[in-house]
């Protein structure tokens, strides 16, 4: 994958114009002079060496890696369910008539122990699973959380009439909690460690700026080996080397905006001198068009600063889980919502999908399903499933010609299933797979055109819609922006609605959109579908 990206980039650079003067960072000039003018024959170079020194075995999309982040929340839920379960069993021993019929004072010590233990587990950051964390230290924190909860339970037992019986049972509770939680966290720890070995939690970054700051950062990263630096982009290509400390220069920042590598990038790191405020601001403003996170590297002036900066980058995937931001919490809840409602919808619509598949097969020759490459989260290319609504020989996988009213390519059955959006039902499989969501910006075909121009080039903020998984339905769809995009104004309106949804989305808004989708689809007679 990286070999292909490098070849594409070299071709791009060969066609560009060199700047009028040499503004290359002076710190890189010795290295530039050491670069040979002619590359060795293709077969003489080890393929791994052409990919740079970080060489991930395979590029893993940001969506695939971020799906592992949610397991940290599941770890915490699992801990709470575990300690709650055996606490109920122990509480039953002291309350033979049933804990539901027990007085508050009898239940309070165990309830206090559970709540305080759960709070302590989170407060001690036991769901971060940092790369540099030691297992023994982690287990020690688990023990501290259990003893803290037990101490709270003992204090609460002072208010119970059965204090003499509850204190021994709280000792048994402490021993049980300590053993089970220790075993569970050792299991969690090993799972996360295996993810790191497979590269699922190793952040992929690209650097903007072939500067001495970038070179020092790469040298430090090479010593640590806990981030993948996939490449460098720099606008001043005239006298730059082909690589900085072995990391290939893949093009200028304009090339980055449409580069194949972006779906695999966690962070775009701007490694310019922060004192060059005008250039830094210009670059950051330009890179805002991408769905990727962009950060400015400022701690680069000494070894301690570089180590701290790399620690923040390398622990990025699970470090965020301890203090889950609103966006991450929403993403987790949205995924649970997609799985539950998606499974219910699949069961409900399976009979209808079977009938539609049969009718399509009888109506025209060709496959029942149509797959199209579309942009997903973070510009990732995904295969979106639909029922085939066009004649097989007229299928347009790139949407170079958008659908028009009374389009002669559409079959008789296709007209009905497109008008009612039944052709979108197979996308439930994309939802359950995690590539799409039930609600979100509608996925557009890669290279889709509006008139003679590619739609993505008509609006600067077009890629912002890829900051979230695409949806089967969305805010734009129920607000009249559905179907073909015939003009640049149509594209702008849809992007505006998509960005509006991304900034406002919530469970209740999603439920509202799902509820309004069917009446909006049935009453929409103007959309060309």
CB atoms within 10 A of CB 200: 16
* Cα of 384 vs its chain's centroid, Å: 18
DSSP 286-350: HHTTSSSEEEE----SSHHHHHHHHHHHHTHHHHHHHT--HHHHHHHHHHHHHHHHHHHHHHHHH
H/E stretch holding 438: strand 437-439
What's the sign of the alpha-carbon dihedral 15, 16, 20, 26?
Answer: negative
CA–CA separation, 290 and 379 (whole Å): 9
Place of tokens 């790369």: 131
The structure tokens listed for 411 are 């079959």
Place of tokens 């990038």: 265
H/E stretch holding 375: strand 369-375
CA–CA separation, 440 and 66 (whole Å): 18
pLDDT one digit per residue (tens) for the chain, 529 residues: 545 555 544 444 444 433 333 334 444 443 333 333 334 443 444 444 456 777 666 777 777 766 666 777 788 888 888 888 887 777 666 555 555 566 666 777 888 888 999 899 988 888 877 777 889 999 999 999 999 998 988 888 776 666 556 677 788 889 989 999 999 999 988 888 887 777 677 788 888 888 877 888 888 878 777 788 888 888 877 666 778 888 888 888 888 887 888 888 888 888 877 666 777 777 777 787 787 777 776 545 556 655 666 666 665 444 333 333 446 677 778 888 999 999 999 999 999 999 999 999 898 888 899 888 888 887 788 899 999 888 877 776 666 666 666 777 888 888 888 888 888 999 999 999 989 999 998 888 777 767 666 666 656 566 777 778 899 998 888 887 877 777 778 888 888 888 888 888 888 899 999 988 888 877 765 555 5
Burial pattern 322-333, b for ≥16 Cβ within 10 A else e, equals bebeeebebbbe
Instruction: Report the DSSP beta bridge partners of residue 375.
Output: 381
Q: Kind of pairing, strands 228-233 and 247-251?
A: parallel
Reference 229, options 250, 205, 248, 253; nearest CA is: 205
CA–CA separation, 252 and 235 (whole Å): 4
Q: What share of the chain is helix, strand, coil (3-state, %, to 5)?
A: 55, 10, 35
Contact between residue 378 and residue 63 where contact means Cβ atoms under 8 Å apart: yes
CA–CA separation, 2 and 204 (whole Å): 13
The structure tokens listed for 153 are 């339970």
Place of tokens 């989708």: 517
Place of tokens 């999309």: 61
CA–CA separation, 222 and 226 (whole Å): 8
* Cα of 438 vs its chain's centroid, Å: 16
* Cα of 427 vs its chain's centroid, Å: 19
Contact between residue 259 and residue 251 where contact means Cβ atoms under 8 Å apart: yes
Largest CA distance in the chain: 88
CA–CA separation, 425 and 354 (whole Å): 11
CA–CA separation, 115 and 94 (whole Å): 19
The structure tokens listed for 279 are 């250039």
CATH architecture of 2-60+200-321: 3-Layer(aba) Sandwich (3.40)
For residue 400, CA distances in Å to 103, 134, 291, 444 come to: 71, 54, 24, 11
Reference 442, options 400, 406, 484; nearest CA is: 484
CA–CA separation, 228 and 63 (whole Å): 16
CA–CA separation, 43 and 402 (whole Å): 44
User: Residue 209: its pLDDT value, please?
Assistant: 83
HSE-CB of 155 using CA atoms within 13 angstroms: 9
User: Residue 13: its pLDDT value, please?
Assistant: 45
Task: Look at phi and psi of residue 9 and say left if phi exceeds 0, alpha if psi is from -120 to 50, else beta.
Answer: alpha
Torsion of CA 177, 178, 181, 184, to 10 degrees: -130
What secondary structure, in 3-state letters, does 220-231 show? HHHHHCCCEEEE
Phi/psi at 247 (5° precision): -85, 125
Q: Cβ contacts of residue 396 below 8 Å, gap of 6+?
A: 390, 409
Domain extents in the chain: 2-60+200-321, 65-197, 326-523
CA–CA separation, 359 and 505 (whole Å): 37
Place of tokens 């040298």: 219
Q: Cβ contacts of residue 391 below 8 Å, gap of 6+?
A: 364, 366, 409, 410, 411
Predicted TM-score (pTM) of the model is 0.60
């Amino acid at each position: 994958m990286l070999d292909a990206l490098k070849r594409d980039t070299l071709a791009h650079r060969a066609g560009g114009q060199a700047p009028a003067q040499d503004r290359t960072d002076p710190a890189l000039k010795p290295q530039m002079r050491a670069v040979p003018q002619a590359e060795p024959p293709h077969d003489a170079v080890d393929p791994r060496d052409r990919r740079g020194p970080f060489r991930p075995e395979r590029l893993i999309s940001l969506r695939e890696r971020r799906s592992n982040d949610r397991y940290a929340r599941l770890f915490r839920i699992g801990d709470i369910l575990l300690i709650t379960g055996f606490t109920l069993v122990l509480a039953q021993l002291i309350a033979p008539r049933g804990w539901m019929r027990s007085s508050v004072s009898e239940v309070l010590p165990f309830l206090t122990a559970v709540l305080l233990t759960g709070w302590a587990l989170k407060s001690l950051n036991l769901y971060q699973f940092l790369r540099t964390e030691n297992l023994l230290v982690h287990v020690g924190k688990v023990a501290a959380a259990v003893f803290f909860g037990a101490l709270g339970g003992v204090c609460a037992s002072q208010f119970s009439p059965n204090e003499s019986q509850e204190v021994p049972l709280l000792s048994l509770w402490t021993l049980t909690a300590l053993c089970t939680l220790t075993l569970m966290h050792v299991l969690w720890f090993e799972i996360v460690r295996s993810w790191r070995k497979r590269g699922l939690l190793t952040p992929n970054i690209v650097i903007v700026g072939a500067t001495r700051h970038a070179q020092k950062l790469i040298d430090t990263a090479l010593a640590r080996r806990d981030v993948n630096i996939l490449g460098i982009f720099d606008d001043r290509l005239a006298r730059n080397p082909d690589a900085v400390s072995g990391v290939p220069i893949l093009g200028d920042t304009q090339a980055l905006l449409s580069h194949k590598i972006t779906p695999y990038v966690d962070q775009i790191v701007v490694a310019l001198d922060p004192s060059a405020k005008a250039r830094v601001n210009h670059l950051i403003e330009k890179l805002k068009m991408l769905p990727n996170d962009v950060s400015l590297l400022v701690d680069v002036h000494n070894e301690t600063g570089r180590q701290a900066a790399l620690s923040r980058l390398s622990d990025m995937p699970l470090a965020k889980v301890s203090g889950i931001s609103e966006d991450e919490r929403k993403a987790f809840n949205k995924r649970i919502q997609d799985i539950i409602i998606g499974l219910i919808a699949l069961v409900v619509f399976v009979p209808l999908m079977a009938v539609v598949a049969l009718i399509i097969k009888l109506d025209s020759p060709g496959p029942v399903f149509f797959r199209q490459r579309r942009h997903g989260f973070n510009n990732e290319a995904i295969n979106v499933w639909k029922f085939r609504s066009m004649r097989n020989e007229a299928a347009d996988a790139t949407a170079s010609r958008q659908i028009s009213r009374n389009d002669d390519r559409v079959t008789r059955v296709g007209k009905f299933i497109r008008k009612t959006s039944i052709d979108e039902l197979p996308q439930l499989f994309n939802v359950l797979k995690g590539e799409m969501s039930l609600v979100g910006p509608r996925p557009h075909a890669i290279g889709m055109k509006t008139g003679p121009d590619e739609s993505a080039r008509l609006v600067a903020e077009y890629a912002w819609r890829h900051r979230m998984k695409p949806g089967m339905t969305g805010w734009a769809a129920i607000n009249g922006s559905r179907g073909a995009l015939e003009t640049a104004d149509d594209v702008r309106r849809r992007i505006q609605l998509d960005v509006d949804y991304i900034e406002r989305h919530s469970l209740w808004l999603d439920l509202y959109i799902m509820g309004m989708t069917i009446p909006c689809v049935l009453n929409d007679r103007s959309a060309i579908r």
